[in-house]
Amino acid sequence: MAGAQPQAPSQPRTPGGAMLRTLGGIAMLSGLLVVLVYHWTRPIIAENKRIAIEKAIFQVVPGAVTRKNFVLGPEGLFPGDAGKAKGDQVYAAYDRDGRLKGVALEAAATGYQDVIRILYGYDPGCQCVTGIRVLKMAETPGLGDKIARDPDFLANFEALDGRVNAAGDGLEHAIVTVKHGTKSQPWQIDAISGATISSKAVGRMIDASGQRMFPLILRYRDGFERRD
C-alpha cells in the first residue's frame, strides 16, 4: 500500500492589497518630497542667480559701480523688474558720478550640449559690446567651456561693433562668429579653435539680442540716465 505523499509546503501568498498600499504610499511620499525640495530650493536658486547677475553686471560694464533695473521693450522703458511691464529685463550701470556707463542684458542660444546663457554689456556711447560673462552652460570641459575663460575669445567683446543702422531698426552689421584666425572686421568674433560651435552660439545670441535691443537702448537712452 502506497504511503501518503509528502505535501509541498504551501507558498505564502503575497497580499495584493497590502502591496499596492505600500507602493502607493512610497510613491506619494516621493512625490511630496520632490515638491518640498522644489519649493525649498526655488528661492535659493533665484537668490544665487541674482547674486551671479549682480556680480556679472560690473564685469561686463567696466567702470560701473551702481546699477538700476529696467524693463525695455517696444512699448518703452520702465523702471523695475520683468513681469511688472512688457519687455526684457535690462540693467543700467553707472559710474561713481551717476553717469550711465552701459546697459547689461541677458542672451541665450543652444550650444554644442545645451542652452548657453550669458550676460553682456552694451555701451550706447561707442555703440559697442563691452564684455560678456557666461551665467550657465553645459559645454564640454576643455572644449566648449573655454568660451567662459579663454582670454583671446573674451577679448572679442571688449569693443565689439554693435552700431545701429540708419533706419534705427537693427544693426548696421550683423554680429557674426568667424573661423579662428579669420576675423577682419570689428563686428566679427574670432572663434575658439576646436570649439567653433560654442563660439558661434555666443555670436548668434548677441546678434539676435542686439538686433532687437540696441535700437531700443539708443531710442530710450535718456530714460536710463540716473536721476536719483
Ligand X SMILES: Cc1cc2nc3c(=O)[nH]c(=O)nc-3n(C[C@H](O)[C@H](O)[C@H](O)COP(=O)(O)O)c2cc1C
Q: Cα torsion at 186, 187, 188, 192 (round to 10°)?
A: 90
Smallest gap from Cβ 131 to ligand X, in A, equals: 21
Of 35-74, which residues contact ligand X (CB under 6 A)?
none
Q: Which of 59, 89, 127, 196 binds ligand X (CB under 6 A)?
A: 196
Q: Tell me how far apart the alpha carbons of residues 13 and 17 are, in angstroms, rounded to a whole number.
A: 12
48 vs 110, beta carbon nearer ligand X: 110
Q: Which of 53, 56, 197, 206 binds ligand X (CB under 6 A)?
A: 197
User: How does strand 188-190 pair with strand 176-178?
Assistant: parallel
- 8 A C-beta contact, residue 130 and residue 121: yes
Span near ligand X by CB under 6 A; candidates 12-20, 29-37, 50-58, 192-200: 192-200
Residue 27, class by beta-carbon neighbours within 10 Å (0-12 exposed, 13-18 middle, 19+ buried)? Answer: exposed
Q: Which of 198, 202, 217, 220 binds ligand X (CB under 6 A)?
A: 198
- Phi, psi for 17 (deg, rounded to 5): -60, -45
Print the binding letters for residues 113-132 with ligand X: x by CB under 6 A, - otherwise. x-------------------
Asked if 112 interacts with ligand X (CB under 6 A), we say yes
The position carrying cell 579669420 is 182
Asked if 140 interacts with ligand X (CB under 6 A), we say yes
Residue 12 in grid coordinates: 505564502
130 vs 198, beta carbon nearer ligand X: 198
Asked if 106 interacts with ligand X (CB under 6 A), we say no
